[in-house]
């Protein structure tokens, strides 16, 4: 088990002959970054399906530039020794990993957005293991390529909603129109009741 967990921080480095479209990255801090349109999870994290670690989940939202009150949605997985963000956007599905020592603010700051804060909801629970969640994301890949992205019809909210319902069947945030109407009529953020600074 410990050997599998160490794989979270021991990413396969690209060879000198690797494809130039690769967007897999590793930092000196042991952080990892992968776009599933260019690399698969197994290349970066061998044996991920067997990573039977329990995780807590947070539903995240960060501000989108020039869009009043609109949020980019993502998931944060919190393991005993790591954080992992999963999001979807114009680059397709992007997964990022961070050593727990890097802190939750670092992980939250990694998702796309232009805000100094991240709004979140941590009430959702999952019985899925880390490996099961990554396997579910792998199975979703075909429908969530960057070429499928549409800012109104097939976007980050749709992806987060689809993955969220797999992780917790009670996950059912309002659609964008209803969310906007609620926010215009009340100062209470019913979608993301909590907030943390990411500075």
pLDDT score, position 86: 97
Q: Which residues fall within 8 angstroms of residue 169, CB to CB, at 6 or more apart?
A: none
**Of the candidate ranges 10-14, 41-45, 79-83, 101-105, the one whose mean pLDDT is the lowest:** 10-14
pLDDT value at residue 184: 66
> Does the structural domain 2-197 have CATH classification 3.30.310?
no
- Residues 6+ positions from 90 with CB-CB distance below 8 Å: 146, 149
- Give the domain ranges of the chain: 2-197
**What is the tens place of the pLDDT at every residue in 38-69?**
988 877 677 888 889 899 999 999 988 766 67
Buried b (16+ CB within 10 A) or exposed e, 83-109: bbbbbbbebbbbbbbbbeebebebbbb
Kindly tell me if the per-residue pLDDT of 130 is higher than 50: yes
CA–CA distance, 174 with 101 (Å, rounded to integer) = 34
């Amino acid at each position: 088990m410990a050997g599998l967990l160490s794989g979270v921080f021991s990413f396969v480095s690209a060879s000198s002959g690797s494809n130039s479209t690769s967007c897999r990255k590793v930092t000196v801090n042991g952080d990892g970054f992968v776009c599933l349109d260019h690399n698969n999870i197994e290349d970066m994290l061998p044996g991920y399906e067997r990573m039977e670690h329990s995780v807590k989940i947070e539903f995240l939202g960060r501000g989108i530039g020039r869009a009043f009150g609109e949020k980019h949605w993502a998931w944060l997985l919190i393991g005993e020794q790591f954080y992992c963000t999963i999001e979807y956007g114009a680059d397709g599905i992007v997964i990022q990993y961070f050593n727990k020592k890097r802190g939750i603010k670092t992980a939250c700051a990694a998702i796309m957005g232009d805000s100094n804060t991240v709004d979140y909801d941590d009430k959702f629970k999952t019985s899925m293991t880390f490996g099961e969640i990554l396997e579910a994301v792998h199975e979703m890949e075909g429908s969530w390529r960057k070429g499928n992205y549409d800012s109104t019809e097939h976007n980050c909210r749709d992806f987060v909603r689809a993955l969220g319902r797999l992780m917790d069947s009670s996950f059912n945030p309002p659609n964008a129109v209803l969310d906007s109407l609620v926010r215009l009529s009340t100062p209470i953020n019913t979608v993301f009741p909590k907030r943390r600074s990411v500075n």
